[in-house]
Amino acid sequence: MFSTVWIIGYGSFGQFIHTIVSKHFPKISVKVYTKNNNPDWNIFFALQEVAQCDIIFLSIPIKAFAKVTQQLILMINPKTILVDVCTVKIHPTNILQKYENSCKYICTHPMFGPYSYEKKHKSLKDLRIVLTEHNVPSDIFLQIKKLLQKLWLKVLEMTAEQHDQKLAETLFITHLVAQTMKKGKFCRTDIDTVSFGFLMDAVESVSADLQLFQDVYHYNPYCQQSLHHFHNAAKSITKTLEKNDDKENTLQTQRNNIDQIDKKILSLLAQRMQASKEIAKYKHHHNLPIYQSGRWQEVLDNKIQQAKKLWLDEQCIIDIRNTIHQASVEIQKSCTF
């Protein structure tokens, strides 16, 4: 079906494309152009030679897409298919649609890369690739789709808008968390949980792609909204945590206050019982009865009046007073002289 493939750009993903094509389609001739390598006529070739190829993979930074495409349009055969593999889709789609009368194109986003490929033990099985807009004949598009499925890839079709909206809520958030973790110098430890290990797998898979993260933010119109939503969610969670902490701190503080007050009450009760023993000694030497109802009622009335001034429950004070008085009477009865 295809005999020659060009790869424009030879970063980590361009090299990955080279590996995949060479492994699964050994009869296809793969040629690479990158401004970082001079032509060696083995792997690397001059850009002017791309005219005769069947497919060109545009493995270039998003911000360079417009400039590179404009250069290629002047060189390629109109039947050559440009394959966009950018992480965003609206931006490259808009550019390619300007030249749809001068070239064939397919906009794709492989939802995997070298890291996930290695994690899958160099297997493409069940990895996903998104196909959005294209202008190739339907029979050729169907052949390409079947070719991808033969590699055990899961092929998903959607519009560029649908893709970018979903990506802003998924991959962009992954990059955002990864860059945050990296900036905060969070790393693996010897007590990691399984879930933290999964989190670090995700972080490590994308944390080196700072330029990609920045480009996705600038060229995906939905990322700003996702960032705003994420920021608000983080603020809300922080407030929740601080609010709960404040409540817990206040609760613990008040509990500590009560403990200290109870300690003082116990100390005062102990002092009161000691005073009751001294009163019992006095009553014994002067032949006075232990219980004196007149005195008891006088003291009770006085305490009730004090309780009302302090907005304390009257019955509660009566019950407490009765309990203390009874304990005092028992102590006086038990005294021996």
Token pair recorded at residue 56: 């060109």
Within a domain: 210: no
For residue 226, which phi and psi values (nearest 5 degrees)?
Answer: -65, -40
CATH number, position 83: 3.40.50.720
Within a domain: 229: no
Domain boundary among 111, 143, 159: 159
152 and 12 housed in the same domain: yes
Task: Count CA atoms closer than 13 A to 53's CA, side-chain side.
Answer: 26
User: How many C-beta atoms lie closer than 10 Å to residue 159's C-beta?
Assistant: 14
pLDDT by residue, tens only, the chain of 337 residues: 789 999 999 999 999 999 999 999 999 999 999 999 999 999 999 988 887 799 999 999 999 999 999 999 999 988 999 999 999 999 999 999 999 999 999 999 999 999 899 989 999 999 999 999 999 999 999 999 999 999 999 999 999 999 999 999 999 999 999 999 999 999 999 999 999 999 999 999 899 999 999 999 999 999 999 999 999 999 999 988 877 656 666 788 888 899 999 999 999 999 999 998 888 888 888 888 887 777 778 888 888 888 888 888 889 888 998 898 888 888 888 887 6
Domain interval for residue 73: 4-159
The CA distance from 8 to 92, in Å, is 15
The CA distance from 189 to 179, in Å, is 19
The CA distance from 47 to 44, in Å, is 9
Give the long-range contacts of residues 271-275, CB within 8 A, separation 24 or more: 272/324, 272/328, 273/327, 273/328, 273/331
The CA distance from 129 to 12, in Å, is 18
Within a domain: 223: no
| Terminal C-alpha separation, the chain | 118
The CA distance from 89 to 66, in Å, is 13
3-state DSSP call for residue 11? coil
User: How many C-beta atoms lie closer than 10 Å to residue 277's C-beta?
Assistant: 14
pLDDT for position 245: 58
pLDDT for position 251: 80
Alpha helices in 113-153 (DSSP H): 114-119, 138-150
Within a domain: 232: no
Domain boundary among 159, 178, 207: 159
Within a domain: 136: yes
150 and 11 housed in the same domain: yes
Model pTM above 0.75: no
287 and 145 housed in the same domain: no
For residue 154, which phi and psi values (nearest 5 degrees)?
Answer: -90, 115
153 and 298 housed in the same domain: no
Domain boundary among 128, 159, 190: 159
Within a domain: 309: yes
Sheet holding 81-84, edge to edge: 29-33, 4-8, 55-58, 81-84, 104-110, 128-134, 154-157
Closest CA to 279 of 320, 319, 337: 337
Token pair recorded at residue 61: 């930074």
Within a domain: 224: no
138 and 276 housed in the same domain: no
> How far, in whole angstroms, is CA 114 from its chain's centroid?
23
**At a CB cut-off of 8 Å and minimum separation 6, what does 254 contact?**
none
pLDDT for position 284: 81
pLDDT for position 288: 84
Number of domains in the chain: 2
pLDDT for position 244: 61
Within a domain: 240: no
